[in-house]
Amino acid sequence: MYFCVMKRMILITFVALAFASCTKAPKPIYPVPTAEQLAWQQHETYAFIHFGLNTFNDLEWGYGNTPAATFNPSDIDCDQWAATLKNCGMKGVILTAKHHDGFCLWPTESTEYNISKSPYKDGEGDIVKELSEACKRHGLLFGIYCSPWDRNNASYAFPEYVATYHKQIDELTRNYGPLFEFWFDGANGGNGYYGGADETRSIDPDNYYDYQRAKYTVLARHPDAMIFGGPYQTVRWVGNEKGFAYATNWCNVTENGTEWQPTEVDVSIRPGWFYHQNEDAKVKTINELCDIYYRSVGHNANLLLNFPVALNGKIHPIDSARAVEFYQTISNELSHNLLAQAKVHADDERGYRFSASKVNDGNPETYWATNDDYPYGTISFSMDKPVEISRVLIQEYVKLGQRVKSFYLEGALDGEYFPIQAYDSTTTVGYKRIVRFDPVEVDKLIIYFDESRGSLCISNIEAY
Ligand code: FUL
């Protein structure tokens, strides 16, 4: 008798295990990210550095006629930049190797208008090299901005300039790396010095620059790099320079978009991109920077935060102190996940492999999934004792596509249920969505995913 019962139990266990292991994962809903795009999304925050002739001439958009001799930082220190950026949680840095004025921060063969004609290190300096090496020493990723528009070059808008520009891309991709991103700015054509012509020139950017070749050059040498801007971009501009991604943010641009193009939010820590002494009192406040973080990283986008290097060649102490405090504030706010030990329950599960408990197992490769005929779902977290929360963080398993269209939150304490009003919108999730709300005491948190493009695939949920 005993053996019969044992046999039956073993059989049942085998059948259950076999059933669990053959539960099929949901089919992807296209588009999906490439491995490189997903790795890039995981960087989340990194820095921009705007530095060049504009810095020394108190300009934002140099005309292309300020003498190279005016580039004269007294005390440049790329290690100070890298150490500062590291201290404020930045994963990498993108340098304006050339801005619209055409002045190159490396000793290029493509134009005379470059750092070798400046007094810096008696013409022996190369800031692209100095920063790329400092990044290696400090464990930061390195990227390059090389403005397509060149207000100095006499042949801008003619075919000769395209060859010059490609020579610059060639030098930058050949001699400095590895690169994690290459930035093609969208400002193109207009008035300028143009070798003394002093006129307005316009071009058709998508056709003029031969962006396809530019992309091949970058990717042939830096296969992991993202291309920002131009018709062959792999990541896209958010559409403003104020520091926020829109409330509804699809990596596929729109709900029915066919290409995966995650968003990058670029914003400066000061009003200008370049350093101006009269902006020393206008560095963004901690509240402003934290709001930017939640509305960029928290809205399914990467944050590219600009630091204008000052006249002496250093990141200004006001900017660095503010950025470090910003980083500490965010780190404190998101330091202790109150759902880590919670009991999780969902109204629909696609079998054991995709059970609700996968959202707080700390493993980004596992996820809770609902059945194919279930494009919504409710998940609840029960805590042993009441906790105070004011942030909820959700991540989809985006390898299978971005799916969630909207969700809403509810809390409960001692069996009393109440809605949680988020300040941030609750449309779309994607790689990451963080919503903020006034602190509430709960012993249960419920998330209703009420609309999705298919079955849910949620890899992570946290609350703080
Ligand atoms: C813009 C440029 O015109 C600004 O000067 C700055 O470089 C910003 C990041 O991109 O398009």
**Does 8 have pLDDT greater than 80?**
no
CA of 253 to the centre of ligand 1 (A): 22
What pLDDT, on a 0 to 100 scale, did the predictor assign at position 9?
A: 58
What pLDDT, on a 0 to 100 scale, did the predictor assign at position 10?
A: 56
Pocket lining: 187 vs ligand 1, CB cutoff 6 Å: yes
**Does 21 have pLDDT greater than 70?**
no
Last residue of a domain, one of 333, 362, 385: 333
CA of 185 to the centre of ligand 1 (A): 7
Nearest atom, ligand 1, residue 266 CA: 9
Pocket lining: 186 vs ligand 1, CB cutoff 6 Å: yes
Q: What pTM does this model have?
A: 0.95
* Amino acid at residue number 1: M
What pLDDT, on a 0 to 100 scale, did the predictor assign at position 23?
A: 85
If you average pLDDT over residues 96-122, what whole number do you get? 98
Helix (H, G, I), strand (E, B) or coil at 127: helix
CA of 386 to the centre of ligand 1 (A): 48
| Nearest protein Cα to ligand 1, atom 4 | 273
Considering the domain boundaries, does residue 7 fall inside one? no
Looking at the fold, whether 67 and 161 belong to one and the same domain comes out as yes
Instruction: Pick the closest to residue 120 from 138, 135, 103, 133 (CA basis).
Output: 103
Read off the pLDDT of residues 173-209 as tens digits, 9 standing for 90 and up: 999 989 999 999 998 989 999 999 999 999 999 999 9
Least confident of 1-10, 220-229, 242-251: 1-10
Tokens representing residue 174 in the block? 């050949």
Considering the domain boundaries, does residue 13 fall inside one? no
CA of 384 to the centre of ligand 1 (A): 51
Q: Is 26 left (phi over 0), alpha (psi -120 to 50) or beta?
A: beta
What pLDDT, on a 0 to 100 scale, did the predictor assign at position 201?
A: 98
Contact 57, 66 (CB under 8 A): yes
Tokens representing residue 308 in the block? 């204008």
Confidence of residue 381 (pLDDT cuts 50, 70, 90): very high
CA of 115 to the centre of ligand 1 (A): 21
Considering the domain boundaries, does residue 155 fall inside one? yes
Q: Which helix (H) or strand (E) holds 318?
A: helix 317-333
Considering the domain boundaries, does residue 264 fall inside one? yes
If you average pLDDT over residues 292-303, what whole number do you get? 98
Looking at the fold, whether 58 and 127 belong to one and the same domain comes out as yes
Q: Give the C-alpha separation, 112 to 92, whole Å.
A: 30
- Output the average pLDDT for the chain: 95
Looking at the fold, whether 428 and 320 belong to one and the same domain comes out as no
CA of 356 to the centre of ligand 1 (A): 44
Pocket lining: 211 vs ligand 1, CB cutoff 6 Å: no
Q: Give the C-alpha separation, 44 to 305, whole Å.
A: 11
**Does 126 have pLDDT greater than 90?**
yes
Nearest atom, ligand 1, residue 145 CA: 7
What pLDDT, on a 0 to 100 scale, did the predictor assign at position 386?
A: 98
Considering the domain boundaries, does residue 61 fall inside one? yes
| Nearest protein Cα to ligand 1, atom 10 | 185
Considering the domain boundaries, does residue 161 fall inside one? yes
**Does 317 have pLDDT greater than 70?**
yes
Last residue of a domain, one of 315, 333, 351: 333
Among 241, 306, 309, the mutation site with the greatest number of ligand 1 atoms within 8 A of its Cβ is 241
CA of 60 to the centre of ligand 1 (A): 9
Looking at the fold, whether 451 and 420 belong to one and the same domain comes out as yes
Pocket lining: 185 vs ligand 1, CB cutoff 6 Å: yes
Looking at the fold, whether 216 and 324 belong to one and the same domain comes out as yes
CA of 282 to the centre of ligand 1 (A): 19
* Residue-number span of the structural domain to which 239 is assigned: 35-333
Among residues of the chain, what percentage have pLDDT more than 70? 95
CA of 424 to the centre of ligand 1 (A): 28
Nearest atom, ligand 1, residue 96 CA: 7
Confidence of residue 309 (pLDDT cuts 50, 70, 90): very high
Read off the pLDDT of residues 335-348 as tens digits, 9 standing for 90 and up: 999 999 999 999 99
DSSP letters of 239-285? S-SSS---SS-BTTBSTT-SS---EEEEEESSSSSS--GGGGGGPPP
If you average pLDDT over residues 212-232, what whole number do you get? 98
Residues pairing with 304 in the sheet: 46, 266
Looking at the fold, whether 328 and 348 belong to one and the same domain comes out as no
Pocket lining: 247 vs ligand 1, CB cutoff 6 Å: no
What pLDDT, on a 0 to 100 scale, did the predictor assign at position 187?
A: 87
Nearest atom, ligand 1, residue 147 CA: 7
Establish whether the linkage from the previous residue to 119 is cis, with ω within 30° of 0: no
DSSP H helical ranges for 179-223: 205-208, 211-221
Contact 109, 167 (CB under 8 A): yes
Last residue of a domain, one of 300, 333, 366: 333
Confidence of residue 18 (pLDDT cuts 50, 70, 90): very low
Cα radius of gyration rounded to whole Å, the chain: 26
Q: Which helix (H) or strand (E) holds 419?
A: strand 416-420
Longest distance between any two alpha carbons in the chain, whole Å: 101
pLDDT top residue among 3 and 405:
405
What pLDDT, on a 0 to 100 scale, did the predictor assign at position 38?
A: 98
Among 185, 237, 269, 309, the mutation site with the greatest number of ligand 1 atoms within 8 A of its Cβ is 185
CA angle in degrees (0–180, nearest 5) for 51-52-58: 90
Pocket lining: 266 vs ligand 1, CB cutoff 6 Å: yes
Looking at the fold, whether 123 and 267 belong to one and the same domain comes out as yes
Looking at the fold, whether 302 and 451 belong to one and the same domain comes out as no
Looking at the fold, whether 292 and 190 belong to one and the same domain comes out as yes
What pLDDT, on a 0 to 100 scale, did the predictor assign at position 331?
A: 98
Looking at the fold, whether 69 and 191 belong to one and the same domain comes out as yes
Considering the domain boundaries, does residue 23 fall inside one? no
| Nearest protein Cα to ligand 1, atom 6 | 273
How far is C-alpha 335 from the geometric centre of its chain's CA atoms? 20
pLDDT top residue among 17 and 140:
140
CA of 239 to the centre of ligand 1 (A): 12
Among 105, 146, 183, 273, the mutation site with the greatest number of ligand 1 atoms within 8 A of its Cβ is 273
Considering its fold, how many domains does the chain have in total? 2
Considering the domain boundaries, does residue 20 fall inside one? no
Read off the pLDDT of residues 386-410 as tens digits, 9 standing for 90 and up: 999 999 999 999 999 999 999 999 9
282: domain CATH number is 3.20.20.80
Among residues of the chain, what percentage have pLDDT more than 90? 94
Read off the pLDDT of residues 137-182 as tens digits, 9 standing for 90 and up: 999 999 999 999 999 999 999 999 999 999 999 999 999 989 999 9
Confidence of residue 61 (pLDDT cuts 50, 70, 90): very high
**Does 14 have pLDDT greater than 70?**
no
387: domain CATH number is 2.60.120.260
222, with CB counted inside 10 A (0-12, 13-18, 19+), is buried
Distance set, CA 87 to CA 91, 129, 139, 334, 401 (Å): 10, 22, 12, 17, 34
Pocket lining: 181 vs ligand 1, CB cutoff 6 Å: no
Looking at the fold, whether 323 and 351 belong to one and the same domain comes out as no
Looking at the fold, whether 66 and 195 belong to one and the same domain comes out as yes
pLDDT top residue among 76 and 1:
76
What pLDDT, on a 0 to 100 scale, did the predictor assign at position 258?
A: 97
